[in-house]
Structure 1
Amino acid sequence: MTYHKPSEEARDAGCCSVNFLKYVLFFFNFVFFVGGVAVLGVGIWTIVDKHDYVVLLTTSTYSATAYILVFAGVVVLVVTVIGCCAVLKEDRCALLLYTFLLLLVFLLEAVGGVLAYVYEEQVMAELSHTLTDTFNSKYKMDKEVTSAINRMQKEYHCCGAITYSQWRDSIWLKKNPSIENLVPDSCCKSVTPNCGVRDHPSNIWYDGCIHQLEDEMGRHLILLGAVGCGLSLVQVFGMVLACCLYVKLRDINDY
């Protein structure tokens, strides 16, 4: 069977020619690649920047959302290469694979975005019910939690979950009556060894950490949701373009 190359008239027939669709898809792939780098960057930044505080949460939704977006970002980088090769070679099978992978990325980013928005509404209630108990029962009992609490109190200029006086109920102090500290040293305005022996407002921070942690987590989750849901819409445009090019190439081959 002899293959006849489609005429230029057939390739350029209609309102959307093959060449036009190819150029638009190349441009889409560039935008798609930049979006993938953004998703990957936001996911990694969230994991690295707030890794210590994740141990203070009772659910894994926060970290799961970030990891989903990181995975989606990695997939995007692979998909853009497949897409460029499919468009350049006008390979219909590769275009189908490209469309399927765009759908996969769309689902990953949409799920990550929705999870972030849903959890943003729940994180305040979760922290209100669990943070005080975490401070009182795990400080000095769990190395990761202790490190997270100390970092938080220094970074947010706060002391205790709700108020500094809650440290009097902590297992850390109750099980060690010989300790002179009334609060951890990380509560102090100027952190020095054993500075927590005085809980005067001139020496320690009086505000609890819960509200600042809620605000910080909330902002991160809103950003994750906006990035996930916003960029997932870009994939819809790409899938439509890829399908249009596939149909155009099929029609030309039939012609």
Structure 2
Amino acid sequence: MGQCGITSSKTVLVFLNLIFWAAAGILCYIGAYVFITYDDYDHFFEDVYTLIPAVVIIAVGTLLFIIGVIGCCATIRESSCGLATFAAILLLVFVTECVVVVLGYIYRAKVEDEVNHSIQKVYNEYSGPNTDAPSRAIDYVQRQLHCCGIHNYSDWRNTRWFKESKNNSVPVSCCQPNINNCTGTLTRPADLYQEGCEALVVKKLKEIMMYVIWAALTFASIQMLGMLCACVVLCRRSHDPAYELLVTTNSYA
């Protein structure tokens, strides 16, 4: 029975190591996705520390790949030292992912305040389509999120660009895609997106942070199973003389 339990735990460990390799790629992808998306919305969100969870999740993904190598080698070679190292690194990664979850929730709670603080300034800096980075960011967000203005399209009346242009129009990025020959004129408000961008930017950034949180929670639970299996193999090996003899015999064979 003991030998069967050890064999089962080793099989699970090998399978988990394959999952760790897949997880490493997924975590790195999620971290990269957060960086790329943040770059599109960084003008609306000035707190660069929000990227810390993404940085940590990429580091964890890299470490998981190394863990997979160590775990496979230790399991196949039945190395007590290797399995102990494997379990210790898994514990470290588990703690790190718990930190990611906590940081994710902290920064997720700060998103709305950050956007509220920054968005008015960004809209006031708008200088026209395809000009500077803040202006391109506004046009990009309005097209991507199907929104116009901060709370609605009428917010454009209070911007410097609207007052200087004197054409009673908002940027064409406010135009709904199914409207032909839309110029952004406020005389035809039905042609424009009706929802403001502030709430949608907050929602998008919170969704991004939730991807990080759920990824960390999911793979933390898998790592708990990996630590458990490694501990089972180590404990049964240390208390089963027959298994020690079998390993020693196989080593000399």
Which of the five TM-score ranges fits, normalised by the shorter chain? 0.7 to 0.9
Question: Displacement of 1:76 after TM fit?
Answer: 0.9
Structure-1 residue corresponding to 2:133: 144
Of residues 149, 154, 159, the one that matches 1:160 is 149
> In the aligned structure 2, how far is the partner of 1:108 from the partner of 1:200?
53
Aligned residue pair count: 240
Tell me, what secondary structure is at the counterpart of 1:202? helix
Q: Does 1:218 align with 2:206?
A: yes
Of residues 165, 170, 178, the one that matches 1:183 is 170
- State percent identity of aligned pairs: 28
CA RMSD of aligned residues (A): 3.1
> In the aligned structure 1, how far is the partner of 2:96 from the partner of 2:187?
48
**Which whole-Å deviations, capped at 9, do the CAs of 1:197-235 have from their partners, x for residues lacking one?**
546303432321012222222222223211112321221
Q: For residues 27 and 135 of structure 1, do their structure 2 counterparts lie closer, same or farther at Cα, with a shift above 3 Å needed?
A: same
> In the aligned structure 1, how far is the partner of 2:52 from the partner of 2:187?
38
Tell me, what secondary structure is at the counterpart of 2:190? coil
Question: Displacement of 1:151 after TM fit?
Answer: 0.6
Question: Displacement of 1:82 after TM fit?
Answer: 1.1
Question: Displacement of 1:73 after TM fit?
Answer: 1.4
Q: Does 1:36 align with 2:24?
A: yes
Gaps of 5+ in 1: 1-11
Show the 5 A alignment for 1:1-255.
Answer: 13=2, 16-17=5-6, 19-136=7-124, 138-140=125-127, 143-173=132-162, 177=164, 180=167, 182-189=169-176, 195-196=183-184, 198=186, 200-251=188-239, 252=241
**Which whole-Å deviations, capped at 9, do the CAs of 1:23-65 have from their partners, x for residues lacking one?**
2211222233333333233222333345301331121244322
1:143 counterpart letter in structure 2? D
> In the aligned structure 2, how far is the partner of 1:55 from the partner of 1:100?
41
Question: Displacement of 1:102 after TM fit?
Answer: 1.1
2:135 counterpart letter in structure 1? T
Gaps of 5+ in 2: 249-253
1:106 counterpart letter in structure 2? F
